[in-house]
Amino acid sequence: MSNCIWHNCGSIMQQGSDIAPQAVSTRMVAGMWWFFTLIMCASYTANLAAFLTLNRLEGSISSAEDLAKQHKVKYGTMAGGSTASFFKNSNDSTYKRMYTTMSQSRPSVFVNSNEEGVERVQKGKGLYAFFMESTSIEYQVERKCDLQQVGGLLDSKGYGIGMPVNSPYRTMVSGAVLKLQEKGVLQELKSRWWKVQQGGVSCSEEDAKAPTEDSNKLGLANVGGVFVVLIAGTCAAFLMAVLELLWNCRKIAVQEKISPCEALLSELKFAMNCSNANKPVRRKLEQEDDDDDENAMPVGVSAGSFVRLGFGKLTQAE
């Protein structure tokens, strides 16, 4: 048992062991175990490297300027929209450079609608960013938990109620909107239609309730095939061990002239006895050796008598 533990620990640590199995079945078990530890260590190393790389990538992009400094994550807007016009007509050199990059990107990073842009972000797996109005972004982020809003506002624009010029209702509507905002009615309406529409739960509430855990952990489903190979290899090695035991019992039965069942029982008894590492000599062999010695002694005596008798005849003849 101590040798098995030492062999397995050496395999996991990728250091090997000076103890090597000899039988075919135990070599099969050792080979499956080496394959299992190799895949597990390689998977852990690859998952750790990917996790560190992803965290570094996510932490490096926190604003539009960070997007402009890198070339791995593509970004775009709705074609012909107000956001695209902002980048196109902006006097800021960074935003101008970003619009030039978007215009020269192939395939095109522009989309025909905000819905198409959101779908492209979801399919991009972190390699595509989409610019659109902050209110629409808040709505999409509350509805789809796999989306994330990065950075602050690029250009602040407000919403209003359109009325004819010199309309007599302008002052009353403006005052009513201010009263609703002061009483918190507008915030309640936003929460109702943004977060709890149709009785659902918003993503922000789910994130607050959900326990903090690593989303990039290596699950059992990712390495399930390795366990299947290990179990299948162990079963095959067990069958091989049974065949080796039966073949060995047959050889013992032939050599010692006993029944195969007796040989099998004696081998199983010795295998189950973990306190004794030395196999005792069989009693039948000892009895046969004693019988052979007894049979050999009269022959030796007769031979000696024959020699003395012959010697005596020679003496008398002389």
Element (H, E) at 76: strand 74-76
CA distances from 10 to 5, 7, 18 (A): 9, 5, 9
Ligand-binding annotation for 82, yes or no, is yes
**What letter would DSSP give residue 151?**
S
Ligand-binding annotation for 133, yes or no, is yes
Helix 185-194 × helix 170-183 angle, to 10°: 70
Output the CA angle 263-268-274, nearest 5 degrees.
Answer: 135
Q: Residue 287's closest CA among 257, 244, 267, 317? A: 257
Question: In a 10 Å sphere around its CB, with 0-12 CB exposed, 13-18 middle and 19+ buried, how is residue 178 labelled?
Answer: exposed
Q: Are 131 and 76 in contact (CB under 8 A)?
A: yes
Ligand-binding annotation for 108, yes or no, is no
What whole-number distance in Å separates Cα of residue 310 and Cα of residue 65?
121
| Residue 200 φ/ψ region, left for φ over 0, alpha for ψ in the -120 to 50 degree band, beta for the rest | beta
Contacts (Cβ under 8 Å, ≥6 apart) of 73: 61, 67, 126, 127, 128, 129
What whole-number distance in Å separates Cα of residue 42 and Cα of residue 54?
18
Give me 167's structure tokens.
């309309």
Tokens 């008894």 — which residue? 269
Cite the annotated binding site by residue number.
82-83, 133
Question: Which residues define the annotated binding site for L-glutamate?
Answer: 82-83, 133
